[in-house]
């Protein structure tokens, strides 16, 4: 186990709703990255947070937003949910950003949008 935890495990929402997913990073890690993994695909980078600031963003619309807290835990918020947002959402923590530190993944949150 990596020490990265995510909640909730599963979530069902309807189109148009908003959702918040949570991630606790591994002890000592100050960087959290979020990924979306559609069924049968590789994870796709959403964004990264380093010391409470966004530090890079992938090709996702502004309705995907995030936060990082002083204890380095993080939230992913998705507004105006669409059916295509159904996926496994993964967070990964690393010791620091921009260096040579490996990303360790949590178990993910399975989001289903109906």
User: Which residue, 75 or 101, has its beta carbon nearer to another protein?
Assistant: 101
Question: In sequence order, which residues have a C-beta less than 8 Å from that of residue 108 and are 6 or more positions away?
Answer: 6, 37, 88, 89, 90
Q: How far is Cα 47 from Cα 56, in angstroms, rounded to an integer? A: 6
Structure tokens at 29: 């890690």
Of these, 7, 17, 18, 41, which contacts another protein (CB under 8 A)?
Answer: 41
Q: Which of 87, 90, 111, 113 binds another protein (CB under 8 A)?
A: 90
Q: Residues in the site for another protein, rule: CB under 8 A?
A: 2, 4, 33, 35, 40-45, 48, 55-56, 58, 90, 92, 94, 97-108
């Amino acid at each position: 186990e990596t020490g990265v935890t995510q909640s909730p495990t599963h979530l069902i929402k309807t189109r148009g709703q908003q959702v918040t997913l949570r991630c606790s990073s591994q002890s000592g890690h100050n960087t959290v990255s979020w990924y979306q993994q559609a069924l049968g695909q590789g994870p796709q980078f959403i964004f990264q947070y380093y010391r409470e600031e966004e530090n890079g963003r992938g090709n996702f619309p502004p309705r995907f937003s995030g936060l990082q807290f002083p204890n380095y835990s993080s939230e992913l918020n998705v507004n105006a949910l669409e059916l295509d947002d159904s996926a496994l959402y993964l967070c990964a923590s690393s010791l620091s950003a921009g260096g040579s530190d490996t990303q360790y993944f949590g178990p993910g949150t399975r989001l289903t949008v109906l």
